[in-house]
Structure 1
Amino acid sequence: MSDQVIELTEVDEGIIQIKMQDKVNKNTFSDALTQGLIEAFETIKNQLQYKVVILTGFDSYFASGGTQEALLYLSDGKGKFSDTDLYSLALNCPIPVISAMQGHGIGGGFVMGLFADFVILSRESVYTTNFMKYGFTPGMGATFILPQKLGIGLAEEMLLAAKTYRGGELQQRGIPFPVLPRSEVMDYALDLAKTLAEKPRVSLVTLKDHLVAPLREKLPEIIEQEVIMHDKTFHQPEVKDRIEAFFGQ
């Protein structure tokens, strides 16, 4: 596994933590981070001693979405975001996943976190689904999971306007997740994980399977629809210009 950018640690009995720490790329979906995440979740799937996963980042970064190179690659029509399935790793993990978003969640990084069973945000951090900032329609299952988790009103605003929000602003908008000072996010996540880990693993797996079954069933159809929208919107010359001009701002 890519130890440099993914740290897999048993933090307590039955609790495994995935820490994304690609400091060079600020937790954008570099090849190393992407492959490391896939390998980490595959490892966890085969380790029956674990009952809950904590997914988190480093310092002020949770996950920052696609790299500029990857976006330009898609804009040139050389691939599709669905070629690599990061978006459903947490959803398809057999045991509950806690997204401890202690840092910024940008674009696909924020979306990936929302597919977890539990989401915790930081007041200070920035969260955005900024796909339309670059002129292409959202991917990664964003058009599905945002309305499911945040409600249709806020989801449409975040997706269409591509605005940036602090966690504290989202808390004021009534999102149904804990929003805490950054320094408290991990403690909260660990306390929650310990509460979950008190339960029998088979019961956790069985109940998660039941609760997320509609999401797992519907997601492939949504991904197909998002790919079709990308075929219409991603290859515009303006999109490539925007990616080159605005990336990282």
Structure 2
Amino acid sequence: MSSQAVLTEVKNGVARITLNEPDSLNALSTAIIEGLNETIGSIKNDPDIRAVILTGNGRAFCAGGNIKGFSSISSAAAGRKRMEDHTHFLKDLAQMEKPVIAAVNGHAVGAGFSIALACDFIIASERSKFALGFHKIGLVPDLGGLYHLPRIVGMARAKELAFSDRTLSAAEAKEYGICLEVVEVEQLLDRTQEIAETFASSPTIAIGLAKSLLNRSFESSLDDMLREESMVQGIAFTTADHKEGVRAFLEKTKPNFTGSYS
């Protein structure tokens, strides 16, 4: 793995992961894939990291797959293996029990759009563009795009975007609920850091437990969700953050959440 393909900086409990191959618009090279697998796999279990930002250097967030390498895929089995190698970091990104924010600085295309959708929120610069892009090269949206997009925009809109390969401006993406906020490009990292630090100073165990249930809510019945809410609430009652929150509420002071169980 190239140590420079994926950069990590930690500040105030927030890990900023930066895709760092701007000359290729941060397309998913082997070095970037290996870097994301290693970095996200490590971060998800680090108790000192309580929120995550994912962004890209240069003009793009991520331009998707490395199309130049597609010609080497000689069989359906080889194509499937390639995709399985890519899904490790994607599942870790989507399922880690910490808030994850995509700071989309430019184009998020193809798999790059799918990666952004796998984050909990997207904060986009006003110059950002979003497109699935797979239709143009005869492929199917992947890396969870077909899972996350209809949950955000609805099935009809997801089908329209997948079938047409239409490019969305940042303003359109916000209108569809894809982006939480759109800001000037110069403000993007500061604004995203501000939001992430707010989460990092919150009761992050409770946030993580809530995220794990929300991620399954569309596939769960009400009875299932009530049962799982009871179980995770039982866990939350035992945390130091719960005790600190109750203390601060009763004493009318600001709580100091540490993200710890005891």
Whether these two folds match at TM > 0.5 is yes
Distance in 2, matches of 1:215 and 1:61, equals 32
1:1-249 equivalent positions in 2, closer than 5 A: 2-11=2-11, 13-74=12-73, 76-77=75-76, 78-80=78-80, 81-85=83-87, 86-173=89-176, 175=178, 177-214=180-217
Spell out, residue by residue over 1:61-85, the C-alpha distance to the aligned partner (whole angstroms, 9 max, x if none): 1111110134334474322223421
Q: 1:216 to 1:195 in 2, by over 3 A?
A: farther
Note the C-alpha offset of 1:32: 0.2
Q: Which has the higher contact order (CA 8 A, sep 6+)?
A: 1
Distance in 1, matches of 2:140 and 2:128, equals 24
Question: Which residue matches 1:225?
Answer: none
TM-score (normalizing by structure 1): 0.79
Q: 1:87 to 1:203 in 2, by over 3 A?
A: same
TM-score (normalizing by structure 2): 0.75
Distance in 1, matches of 2:148 and 2:33, equals 20
Q: 1:27 to 1:50 in 2, by over 3 A?
A: same
Spell out, residue by residue over 1:191-240, the C-alpha distance to the aligned partner (whole angstroms, 9 max, x if none): 111111121332222222222134799xxxxxxxxxxxxxxxxxxxxxxx
Aligned identity (percent) is: 29
SS in 2 for 1:24: helix
Note the C-alpha offset of 1:175: 4.5
Q: 1:58 to 1:162 in 2, by over 3 A?
A: same
SS in 2 for 1:87: helix
Q: Aligned pairs, how many? A: 216
Letter in 1 for 2:63: S
Question: Which residue matches 2:256?
Answer: none
Letter in 2 for 1:190: Q
Note the C-alpha offset of 1:183: 1.9
Q: Is the 8 A contact 1:112 1:140 kept in 2?
A: yes
Q: Is the 8 A contact 2:124 2:179 kept in 1?
A: no
Gaps of 5+ in 2: 221-262
Distance in 2, matches of 1:193 and 1:215, equals 26
Letter in 2 for 1:51: R
Q: Is the 8 A contact 2:20 2:57 kept in 1?
A: yes
Distance in 2, matches of 1:174 and 1:207, equals 20
Distance in 2, matches of 1:205 and 1:198, equals 13
Distance in 2, matches of 1:95 and 1:50, equals 8
Q: 1:158 to 1:204 in 2, by over 3 A?
A: same
Q: Is the 8 A contact 2:9 2:16 kept in 1?
A: yes
Distance in 2, matches of 1:212 and 1:159, equals 22
Q: CA RMSD in A?
A: 2.2
Q: Is the 8 A contact 1:73 1:79 kept in 2?
A: no
Gaps of 5+ in 1: 218-249
